[in-house]
């Protein structure tokens, strides 16, 4: 079967390469991404007779313009991608401190945005985090940002597919959490769970 003058197997190889590049943007593997591109170009040339290099050489101005546009688009994409990345880090941090406060028996754990002073010593003993590791700085993520720029089409596709779906399920969870808790309380009937009280040091 031939599509646009090329064997269907060529398009299958290209689609597999495309999917592989999307996967490398999620795993942030630039070397593997470059390997997939090189292997795909080699297969296209040696097996299907489609020479990417010949197309570039025969249309140098178009190739230069396309490269420039690609670089500009990559830089522009890095800004919203960085925002999505930081927002995900924020959500991870909030989940961490809320889980910690819940384990401590803190009543308002589900709406907490920071660790109360009385729990700070215990928190830092458990996680040992500093402010710099919580609030991302661009200089600490140089290779990651460059990777987003270099492979922006695949990074964009994966982000636009993955992030909205994840946020949709998170919103659904937050909306229905109270309903699930009510079902649990109803199903458990009148069971009372004793509260553990540590033994007193007083004699």
Residues 177 and 131 in one domain: yes
Specify the pTM: 0.64
Residues 77 and 36 in one domain: no
- Name the pLDDT band for 48 (thresholds 50, 70, 90): low
Mean pLDDT of the chain: 79
- Residue 78: predicted pLDDT: 93
Mean pLDDT, rounded, for 108-119: 86
Look at 85 and 36; give whichever has higher pLDDT: 85
Residues 41 and 127 in one domain: no
Residue closest to 81 by CA, chosen among 140, 165, 170, 151: 151
Residues 85 and 135 in one domain: yes
The fraction of the chain above a pLDDT of 70, given in percent, is: 78
- Name the pLDDT band for 103 (thresholds 50, 70, 90): confident
Residues 106 and 18 in one domain: no
d(CA 157, CA 11) in angstroms, rounded, equals: 19
Residues 30 and 125 in one domain: no
**Is position 151 within any domain?**
yes
Which region among 47-51, 166-170, 172-176 has the lowest average model confidence (pLDDT)?
47-51
Which secondary-structure segment (H or E) carries 152? helix 152-187
Residues 53 and 99 in one domain: no
d(CA 28, CA 191) in angstroms, rounded, equals: 49
- Residue 4: predicted pLDDT: 47
pLDDT in tens, 11-21: 677 777 777 77
**Is position 198 within any domain?**
no
Mean pLDDT, rounded, for 176-196: 78
**Is position 5 within any domain?**
yes
Look at 189 and 5; give whichever has higher pLDDT: 189
Backbone phi, then psi, for 104, in 5-degree steps? Answer: -85, -10
Residues 7 and 94 in one domain: no
Tell me the β-bridge partners of 6.
3
Instruction: Tell me the Ramachandran region of residue 200: left when phi exceeds 0, alpha when psi lies from -120 to 50, beta otherwise.
Output: beta
Number of domains comprising the chain = 2
Q: Which domain holds residue 78?
A: 60-185
Most confident of 55-64, 137-146, 158-167, 194-203: 137-146
- Residue 190: predicted pLDDT: 72
Residues 18 and 81 in one domain: no
pLDDT in tens, 63-100: 788 889 989 999 999 999 999 899 888 888 888 898 88
* Range 184-187, long-range pairs (CB < 8 A, 24+ positions): none
Residues 12 and 110 in one domain: no
Q: Which of 38, 58, 78 is the last residue of a domain?
A: 58
- Residue 74: predicted pLDDT: 92
């Amino acid at each position: 079967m031939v599509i646009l003058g090329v064997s269907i197997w060529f398009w299958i190889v290209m689609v597999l390469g495309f999917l592989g590049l999307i996967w490398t943007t999620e795993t942030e593997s630039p070397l593997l991404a470059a390997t997939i591109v090189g292997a795909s170009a080699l297969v296209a040339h040696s097996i299907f007779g489609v020479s990417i290099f010949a197309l570039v050489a025969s249309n140098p101005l178009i190739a230069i313009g396309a490269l420039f546009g690609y670089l500009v688009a990559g830089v522009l994409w890095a800004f919203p991608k960085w925002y999505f990345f930081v927002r995900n880090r924020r959500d991870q941090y909030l989940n961490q401190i809320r889980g910690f406060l819940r384990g401590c028996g803190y009543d308002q754990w589900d709406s907490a945005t920071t660790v109360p002073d009385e729990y700070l010593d215990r928190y830092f003993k458990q996680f040992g985090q500093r402010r710099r590791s919580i609030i991302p700085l661009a200089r600490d993520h140089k290779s990651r940002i460059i990777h987003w720029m270099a492979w922006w089409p695949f990074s964009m596709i994966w982000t636009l597919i993955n992030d909205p779906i994840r946020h949709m399920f998170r919103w659904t969870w937050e909306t229905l959490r109270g309903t699930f808790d009510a079902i649990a309380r109803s199903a458990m009937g009148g069971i009372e769970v004793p509260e553990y009280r540590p033994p007193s040091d007083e004699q």
